[in-house]
Structure 1
């Protein structure tokens, strides 16, 4: 009788994708081969890299072990960059925790030891028990420390790309992504001046402004989402001025930065976002959900016009969003319009960055240090072109690959998206730090006055 896995098709595909399109071969199933560590060891020993999958009533947890299972009754060996994971039943989103742990098997349990946290993970087949350290509970977002499990399965992992180097790569990617997320979640702007940062996305029609917002939101939500409408029409899909908040998780609090999406720039006069509207956006006079009219910019007579904007309402960083595939074919009229916009932004003293979208070679370039896009030959000349066109420092020319038709998150894409957002916030901080003393003093005084009220 053939032994089959308890994993659903979606769950198995998610685990395979996490490891780079590998195949999984079932070695051990506790309900079939017996709930004892010795029987588990007999079937899994000397099988190479494995994934141990533990089924609980509402979720799945497990561990990827690089290399062979540890030898029975032998002291801890060398640290192993294994990783731990969790997913809700029949869902595709996987939470991961990457730790250098050493593994040991004795008569009762398979356990992982971490020098800072002692026993980080324990599997006790004889009692169908799994134990997690509180660190893993938090990282994997599960609701238990000790639990009985329904089933335990172990799979041999076959076809890992480049062996250990590939695992090191995805391990490093996940760790770097985690650090970026933690950094951005902890971000706070200059509290005496503003409580939140506003980043304005400007660029030609179809360059990826709305897609960038969707991508940022997706990373913080933990799954791909498409709140802002996107398209590839010759005229702008975006007709409303939108000030988008970003929540940390579906039901989490709003983070202290907002992305402001605008109508696309058009090379034709009287089409696309007009200069007068840009001025009002920069100064904080444009209300959320204002409907753009390329023929008639907003005026102070508009019922929702913000006549006395605070520093919080103003734009603190402008990101020019450009499609990396069309940098060298931008018309002279579009380049001239971009320079006009840039002059307006410079007159306001606002910091600027460039966001290049549709970077297709990100997987190849991010193999080493995850911040190496500018060393790629195909990307380098595009950065040079943009730098010469807009005279923006190369450190402020950022590259991303937005989420478009994907169904699942990719840690390498996330790294570029989060790195770009972090650089935008740093630019905004530079803008606030550079404000004249008398202006910052006035803002602080107003803030204190409101506090007294």
Structure 2
């Protein structure tokens, strides 16, 4: 269960299988150590993780247990997770499991009729729409193995979930400076296409590629809108993807295409040619690109495990691309993917993404190779499937995206007057009136 980190779960109790009496539930779950109780509804799952042992429950029990609660909800095609840390005294009373806190009953679970009651405090903090007594579909209890049995670790996991939600809210509320949408160009070696796409998978969903011929798709220049969930609105940035770089001439992205991509001259779905760049004579060439058509931030995507083994020819290709980016004055970052230990990268404050001793040599190498400031060298782990959720990995990915958007805004703010043209607008992301007049 990724909500709790790298742990394994063993099923102890399932209401539809093991009986609907509270005694059945307690008997199967006692003396098992830390447990997770999952209560399923049509669109929501309530998860209660309890530190300590699930035992010694009686009418007069006053023994307190720390518990970490999650609400996993589907909204507009996205999965939203809220967290809450509670100190409760669970006990059995009148054929139900009762949780008391500060001398008040704050939850009731009645297995005999599949009903749960949560106090308003829990409902509000978990942002649920489950007031009063509600019937659930199923109740399961699992033994948790591999979790550090201490309150500080539980608080860290909860803090990770809260920070992840704050980052997502900030990305959703983002409004770019001067343009309607930010364009972020992703550049990486041949074979990194899947990694580039999956970097943003599972939290904000890239528009899926269509068609079965993978080769033909990866040979196109693509501009992807980014949606806030399957049925959500498009967020105000786009991801631009190309063929991968290759150390061999005539293979992979043609370096001659880079200036045209950066300046916004290349149309979406243009069929790239490794031997020959696009020319102004091409029928779809954008001869007079506007500011919104241009690339506003470049992200060099590199597998963190391959950085130390980059060949001199591949490094030369990257430097040629970087020279074009610098000549255009475009914002740029490096995104190091396939980080295996996200918790170490973030450490305790969820902000430090560059001082990890494990990855310090790779960060330093990228800084020396391309001259990218260490503050703009970002890291992310990758998702293997849609079903995996990891709050710490999400923080890395969302933090990296936020950094890209900020870098793009800085690029747009620093543009000379002659490049912005006649613009008179109130920038939503700034508090002052911005007026530009063409001289």
Instruction: Using structure 1 for the length normalisation, give the TM-score.
Output: 0.76
CA deviation map 1:398-449 (0-9, x unaligned): 122333568523333322222211111111111112122454462337999x
Aligned match of 1:179:
166
- Is contact 2:207–2:225 with CA below 8 Å preserved after alignment? no
Q: CA RMSD in A?
A: 4.2
1:427-446 pair list within 5 angstroms: 427-437=407-417, 439-440=419-420, 442-444=422-424
Structure 1 CA distance for aligned equivalents of residues 137 and 385 of structure 2: 36
CA deviation map 1:155-202 (0-9, x unaligned): 4x2433332255444334333322222222222212xx1111110012
Cα 1:304–1:131 change in 2 (3 A) is farther
Q: Does 1:387 align with 2:367?
A: yes
Aligned match of 1:202:
187
Instruction: Using structure 2 for the length normalisation, give the TM-score.
Output: 0.78
Structure 2 CA distance for aligned equivalents of residues 408 and 321 of structure 1: 22
Structure 1 CA distance for aligned equivalents of residues 2 and 418 of structure 2: 58
Q: Classify the secondary structure of the residue corresponding to 1:101.
A: strand
Give the C-alpha shift of residue 273 in structure 1.
2.1
- The count of corresponding residues between Structure 1 and Structure 2 is 419
Structure 1 CA distance for aligned equivalents of residues 336 and 2 of structure 2: 31
Aligned match of 1:324:
304
- Is contact 2:224–2:240 with CA below 8 Å preserved after alignment? yes
Aligned match of 1:103:
88
- Of 51, 70, 85, the match for 1:84: 70
Give the C-alpha shift of residue 368 in structure 1.
3.3
Q: Does 1:244 align with 2:224?
A: yes
Structure 1 residue ranges without an equivalent (≥5): 1-14, 449-453
CA deviation map 1:1-24 (0-9, x unaligned): xxxxxxxxxxxxxx5985643343
Q: Going by fraction, where is strand more abundant, 1 or 2?
A: 2
Q: Classify the secondary structure of the residue corresponding to 2:12.
A: strand
Q: Does 1:67 align with 2:67?
A: no
1:127-146 pair list within 5 angstroms: 128-132=114-118, 144-145=130-131, 146=133
Cα 1:318–1:49 change in 2 (3 A) is same
Give the C-alpha shift of residue 276 in structure 1.
3.2
Aligned match of 2:430:
none
Structure 1 CA distance for aligned equivalents of residues 35 and 381 of structure 2: 32
Structure 2 CA distance for aligned equivalents of residues 229 and 440 of structure 1: 38
Structure 2 CA distance for aligned equivalents of residues 242 and 396 of structure 1: 24
Structure 2 residue ranges without an equivalent (≥5): 428-433, 435-439
Q: Does 1:123 align with 2:103?
A: no
Structure 1 CA distance for aligned equivalents of residues 144 and 162 of structure 2: 24
Q: Does 1:336 align with 2:322?
A: no
Cα 1:196–1:301 change in 2 (3 A) is same
Aligned match of 1:220:
204
- Of 211, 221, 239, the match for 2:195: 211
Q: Classify the secondary structure of the residue corresponding to 1:179.
A: helix
Deviates more, 1:249-258 or 1:382-391: 382-391
Cα 1:367–1:402 change in 2 (3 A) is same
Cα 1:170–1:236 change in 2 (3 A) is farther
Aligned match of 1:253:
233
Q: Classify the secondary structure of the residue corresponding to 1:408.
A: coil
- Is contact 1:77–1:102 with CA below 8 Å preserved after alignment? no
Aligned match of 2:176:
189
